[in-house]
Amino acid sequence: MIGVVASPSESVVVREFFELFKTPWEFYQNDQQYDVLLCAGEGKVPRNADKLVLIYAGRKLPLDDRLNIEVTPQKRRTQMLSHRGRRIPVYADSVTFREHVTGPLVDEQSRQSGVYLREVSGTLVYRIGYDLFREIRILLTEGQPAINAAIPAVELHIALLRDLIVASRVPLVEIPPIPDGYRFIACLTHDIDHPSIRQHLFDHTMFGFLYRAVLGSVFNLVRGRASFRNLLTNWTAVLKLPLVHLGLANDIWCEFSRYIELERGERSTFFVIPFKDCPGESAEGVAPSRRASPYGAADISAQVQELMAGGCEIGLHGIDAWLDSHKGRAELEEIRRITGMDQIGVRMHWLYFDTRSPLILEQAGADYDSTIGYNGTVGYRAGTTQAYKPLEATRLLELPLHVMDTALFYPSYLNLARDEARMRVDRIIDNAVQFGGCVIVNWHDRSFAPERLWGDFYVDLVDRLKNREAWFSTAAQTVSWFRKRRSAIFESVSWQSGEMRVKISVDMSGDVPDLQLRIHNGREPQQNIPICAVASDLAQEFRLTRTIDACVAIS
């Protein structure tokens, strides 16, 4: 059990952190004894831990003088630390320790240690040079700058804490963010922005299509980023455009239901705009007119029914739901009317969002949100591979967006060649394999049609996710699995006479994979072993007869 000492103002952050690092913990109580004490910020250090004390603070503490620890304040806006070859950005105040020039955490610039270890009266004391919960608050509210988008900072903070505990030979049990039988979650999503080119006549979208199809195709061919076949496909589409507008040829964009074929049985989520010709509001006032779409959900109701019949989920591609709960209710109700579904998730059009949005969406009745991500790059805006509960919300979960097609390939964004894009995405998949959690992909409705022709890359991406043993799920199913994990409660954990016993209650509702239980004893390598389980209606009890690290199923 971890006892946590932190400022009362950080209690909501502490609770959310331990939903992401699902391990037994509680706020410190005077009458309890703890294997691990975790003290953060300005919290005082109690004396009733007989094994391990972890002290996180980004400034000099009175304790530092008592233990003769020399600290060096870091004045840089972002300090970059290194742990096991992985970079961990620290965005708030931080210090390093002059006496330690090596260790598990090193400042990349000064090469001083970010961790100080001291044994005091038989207790190991780790002094870590930043405030853990302040960092988690920043990541889950402000997010990371694009320059650090590739870093899953939350998972790295968890990994460091886990490593310090296990290296101190303190037993640890956790429920990792990994569905039983799989290595991570793959969630395929599609924003329906332009379901028909026939709806665009002499507007910004049509002229952009013509420029990219005619001249852009030539530039890409010369640069080796497109084939001659792609150029011919795009030029043919341009020549065909007048016939499309006259109704004499099929619409070259109105094929987004082809995703059912491309995904070959893996269900995905489509976010649909509720009302046409509505640009909505931006943070500065009226949004740009080109944010308005010439279609509304009612205009594609037949295609929506086809997608639902294929097992796909329909969500709201919101306009003003991010800033007005009354408008959000109207937008959600339109999607409910078209789909007949009660629980509807949201992704905002153009990724409009601010710190008030989670509570506003929750008040509007959204089941989840999947807006947090980057328009111009790929990676971890919130620093995590996991679904999380925004600090302002009470129930709404955020499913952060990790990979978007336009961010990879648009000239105004990353503008990557296919091989470069594949390497970027593979690093995100590698992180999911290592840490668990999700890879959330957004491939727009017209991205396999002219002029983009990004379908081959998408099919290859789906294959790579399958080859890495992902569980494919809709956004709603992904959120349901994380809700199941969040429902798990460690009722009791004990280690006695070479034996571990753990009792966990879990809400078993929902047709999603089981959870896993991972045990570390700090001495032997992690491995899978058989266990015996005794189940009741409310809880399941597991008895592990060998004290080795293990990963076992909660069925």
* In the block, residue with structure tokens 């709404």: 396
Q: Virtual CA dihedral for 385, 112, 133, 73, nearest 10 degrees?
A: -140
Give the whole-angstrom CA distance, residue 176 versus residue 283.
38
- Does the model's pTM come out above 0.85? yes
Give all strands (DSSP E) within 212-310, no chain letters.
269-272, 281-282, 285-286
- Mean pLDDT (the chain) is 90
- C-alpha angle 347-345-157 in degrees, rounded to nearest 5: 70
Give the whole-angstrom CA distance, residue 455 versus residue 233.
13
* In the block, residue with structure tokens 């490593």: 163
The class (CATH top level) of 2-174 is: alpha beta
Distances (CA, A) of 268 to 89, 315, 446, 459, 514: 33, 11, 15, 13, 20
For residue 379, pLDDT over 70 is answered with yes
For residue 550, pLDDT over 60 is answered with no
Residue 104: what pLDDT?
86
Residue 524: what pLDDT?
52
Residues sharing a CB contact under 8 Å with residue 506, sequence separation 6 or more, in sequence order: 484, 487, 488, 489, 515, 539, 540, 554
Q: What is the pLDDT of residues 387-426, one digit of tens each?
A: 999 999 999 999 999 999 999 999 999 999 999 999 999 9
Residue 498: what pLDDT?
65
Please give the average per-residue pLDDT across 242-271, as a whole number. 92
Exposed/middle/buried for residue 194 (C-beta within 10 Å: 0-12, 13-18, 19+): buried
Residue 76: what pLDDT?
77
The CATH superfamily holding the domain 184-196+263-481 is Glycoside hydrolase/deacetylase (3.20.20.370)
Q: What is the pLDDT of residues 322-353, one digit of tens each?
A: 999 999 999 999 999 999 999 999 999 999 99
* In the block, residue with structure tokens 């405030």: 131
Residue 439: what pLDDT?
98
Exposed/middle/buried for residue 444 (C-beta within 10 Å: 0-12, 13-18, 19+): buried
Please give the average per-residue pLDDT across 76-90, as a whole number. 92
- Residue pair 510/483 in contact (Cβ under 8 Å)? The answer is yes
Give the whole-angstrom CA distance, residue 143 versus residue 383.
7
Give the Cβ contact number of residue 244 at 10 Å.
18
For β-strands 34-40 and 79-83, DSSP reports them as unpaired
Residue 532: what pLDDT?
36
- Residue pair 198/205 in contact (Cβ under 8 Å)? The answer is no
Give the whole-angstrom CA distance, residue 514 versus residue 60.
44
Domain boundaries, the chain: 2-174, 184-196+263-481, 197-252, 488-554
Please give the average per-residue pLDDT across 201-229, as a whole number. 91
For residue 547, pLDDT over 80 is answered with no
Q: What is the pLDDT of residues 466-484, one digit of tens each?
A: 999 999 999 999 999 999 9
Q: Which of 448, 446, 476, 451 minimizes the C-alpha distance to 460?
A: 448
- C-alpha angle 238-244-248 in degrees, rounded to nearest 5: 130
